[in-house]
Structure 1
Amino acid sequence: MTGNPTIDPLLNLPFDSPAVIAVRLGLAMVAGMIVGWERAAGNQPAGLRTHMVLALGASGVMMLSMILPLHFAGYTSSGDPGRMAAQVISGIGFLGGGAILKFGFNIRGLTTAASIWTMSAIGLVFGAGQYILGAMMTGFLFFALSVMEKVEDRYMTRRDLRVITVVFNSQTLRVGNITKAIRSAIDVKRISIEETVPTGETEIEIRCRIAEHQSIREIFDMIKSQGEVKQIKID
């Protein structure tokens, strides 16, 4: 920002005037609404209102950190506006942590957690009166969340990490045959084998990645068709 830092560059008014405060809070909420709408459309844990409220709070804190030193200049030493902003950035982790969910071996919500953190930064930027930077950050964030998701869906196959446990009679079914069949159908990461000699049973635990387009039922039926399979469990 050039010129007098206490004058808003857009409205040419003191940055603590009601009009400037309303504009900065409003723009921060609009930015939160844009990003939150994209998250809500994808049924993510943190959606429209969460992002709007987050941006509003961050923007308010940023403005407060700038206003306090001005109002108390005659009573205290000059304050650092970056201190309160730093607390917002570090403290926003509790919201991001709430958006991250674990399903078995798979993690969901990392992108939403990252958008929450970035949204707090955008709120601070608007609160500081950096309108161009805030608008560009909002646009780039929306691009990363909306457009790049379509690129991922089209050109990158998503695979979930799963664990398949197969129990079968080793006297009638060879371990090599069943592992070969499984490797031909899915992306196997690790296989562990445990044999129970008295009963003649063998348990295979397979850690693998299954693509979104692959049917669990088809994999289940393929394993079962290999021979005398007593138990199949897919986690």
Structure 2
Amino acid sequence: MDLINTSFLHNKEVVMVIRLVVAAILGGIVGIERGSGDRPAGFRTHILVCVGSALFMLVSLYGFDDVYPQTAKLEEDIGQRRDSARIAAQVVSGIGFLGAGTILHEGLTIRGLTTAASLWMVSAIGLAAGSGMYFLSSVATIITMITLVTFHTWEKRFAANSRSDRQFIRIITTNRSGAITDVTGYLSLNGVQVKSLNVKRDKEKNRLVLEVFLKLGKTAPDGGDLVRGLQGIEGVVGVENMR
């Protein structure tokens, strides 16, 4: 009887190790793509997240096998009292803290959203691999790679076609009353929509730095005329294209 239990334990541990290895491989595949560029999270991070998620799932599935027989009154109560998703479910919410750390705000732009999403996806792949869903986790990895690699090229192509009507500019003006109103009023009168406006103060030179994301309408002037028009506003000392 002891020999049978030992053999079963040995086989079960082999299955656990295989699931961890599969999770490491699948997480590494996604991590290679993320690590190929200047990403906040790369190859090693994705492997650790995927393996960690798989390990949490394994603990949920098998970590309390020696406890339930002692607490269950009847043998059939063991399966009914088990909650295999209890620990694994915490991965879904816990991965948000790690994903938030990869999101960077640089002026008017935000970087790292796709990497945060890939970490969240990798954690789901790890949970699937840890539960023994090899085919499902492999398909999810393939879909993730297609999205990150193929769709990225399409996204850049479509963005290039629609980017002509959008522009980032930095406007430097003296720190005077009504400066921001004069700038936004000029843009509005010329068919330019202000999508976002970030104001910084240069106390040493007593200036305002306006970082503006613009959407140019059909009646808006071209780039050169727009810059010259802004430079003609009282107090404006410089206009820079941030694109």
With structure 2 as the length reference, what TM-score do the two structures score? 0.67
Alpha-carbon offset, residue 146 of structure 1: 1.1
Counterpart selection for 1:34 from 29, 37, 50: 29
The answer as to whether partners of 1:182 and 1:223 remain within 8 angstroms in 2 is no
- Residues 1:182 and 1:56: Cα distance change in structure 2 (over 3 Å): farther
Taking a change above 3 Å as real, the CA distance of residues 15 and 182 of structure 1, as seen in their structure-2 partners, is farther
> Letter of the aligned partner of 1:28 in structure 2?
A
Corresponding residue pairs, total: 199
Hey, what does 1:106 align to over in structure 2?
109
Cα 1:75–1:175 shift into 2, 3 Å: closer
Structure 2 match to 1:189: 194
Find the aligned partners of 2:47 and 2:189 in 1 and give their Cα distance. 51
Q: Which moved more, 1:36-45 or 1:64-73?
A: 64-73
State the secondary structure of the residue aligned to 1:74. helix
8 A contact 2:50–2:122 mirrored in 1: yes
Residue of structure 1 equivalent to 2:237:
231
Kept in 2, the 8 Å contact 1:28–1:59? The answer is yes
> Which residue is equivalent to 1:62?
57
Please give the secondary structure, in 2, of the residue aligned with 1:156.
Answer: helix
SS state at 1:24 partner:
helix
Structure 1 spans left out of the alignment, 5+ residues: 1-12, 169-173, 193-202, 212-217
SS, match of residue 42 in structure 1: coil
User: How big is the shift at 1:100?
Assistant: 0.4
One-letter code aligned to 1:79: R
SS of the aligned residue for 2:65 comes to helix
Correspondence for 2:17 among 16, 22, 35? 22
- Partner Cα separation in structure 2 for residue 120 and residue 191 of structure 1: 34
Structure 2 equivalent of residue 214 of structure 1: none
Distance 1:204 1:132, change over 3 A: closer
Partner Cα distance (1:140, 1:179) in 2: 43
Q: Is residue 39–residue 48 contact of structure 1 (8 Å, CA) maintained in 2? A: yes
Q: Aligned equivalents of 1:112 and 1:139: distance in 2?
A: 16
- The 3-state SS of whatever aligns with 1:70 is coil
Pick one of 121, 130, 133 that aligns with 1:130. Answer: 133
Separation in 2 of the partners of 1:175 and 1:109?
Answer: 31
Partner of 1:8: none
Say if 2:81 is the partner of 1:86: no
C-alpha distance in 2 between matches for 1:127 and 1:104: 40
Match status 1:164 vs 2:170: yes
- Once residues 16 and 209 of structure 1 are traced to their aligned partners in structure 2, the CA distance between those partners, rounded to angstroms, is 62
Contact 2:54 2:128 in 1 (8 A): yes
Distance 1:106 1:146 in 2: 22
2:213 alignment counterpart? 208
Corresponding residue for 1:198? none
In terms of mean alpha carbon deviation, does 153-162 or 36-45 score higher? Answer: 153-162
Q: In the TM superposition, what is the alpha-carbon distance from 1:40 to its structure 2 partner?
A: 0.7
Q: Show the counterpart of 1:154.
A: 157
What is the rounded CA distance, in whole Å, between the counterparts of 2:25 and 2:183 in structure 1? Answer: 59
SS at 1:208 equivalent: strand
Cα distance between partner residues in 2 of 1:15 and 1:141: 34
Partners of 1:109 and 1:81 in 2: CA distance = 32
| TM-fit CA distance, 1:191 | 9.7
Show the counterpart of 2:118.
Answer: 115
CA contact (8 A) 1:14 1:20 kept: no
Cα deviation code 1:182-204 (max 9, x no counterpart): 86xxx642699xxxxxxxxxx99
**Equivalent residues of 1:66, 1:81 under 8 A apart:** yes
- Give the letter for the 1:95 counterpart: L
Q: Residues 82, 133 of structure 1: CA spacing in aligned structure 2 closer, same or farther, 3 A cutoff? A: same
Do the aligned residues in 1 keep the contact of 2:108 with 2:213 (CA within 8 Å)? no
